[in-house]
Structure 1
Amino acid sequence: MIEIERKFLVRSNAFLKDAIKSNRIVQGYLSSNPERTVRIRIKGSCGYLTIKGMSNASGMSRMEWEKEISIEDAEELLLLCEKGTIDKIRHEVIVGTHVFEVDVFNLENEGLIIAEVELSSEDEKFEKPKWLGDEVTQDKRYYNSYLSKNPYKNW
Structure 2
Amino acid sequence: MHAFPIRIALSSVALALAAGATAAEPDPAVLGYKMPADLTWTESSANPGLSSAVLYGDPAKPGPYAVRNRFKPGSFSRPHFHPNDRVIVVLSGTWWIGTGEKFDPESTKAMPPGSVTVHYGGKVHYDGAKTEPCEILIYGIGPATSTRVP
TM-score exceeds 0.5: no
TM-score by length of 1: 0.26
Q: TM-score, normalised by structure 2?
A: 0.26
Which structure's residues are more often strand, by fraction? 1
Q: Which has the higher contact order (CA 8 A, sep 6+)?
A: 1
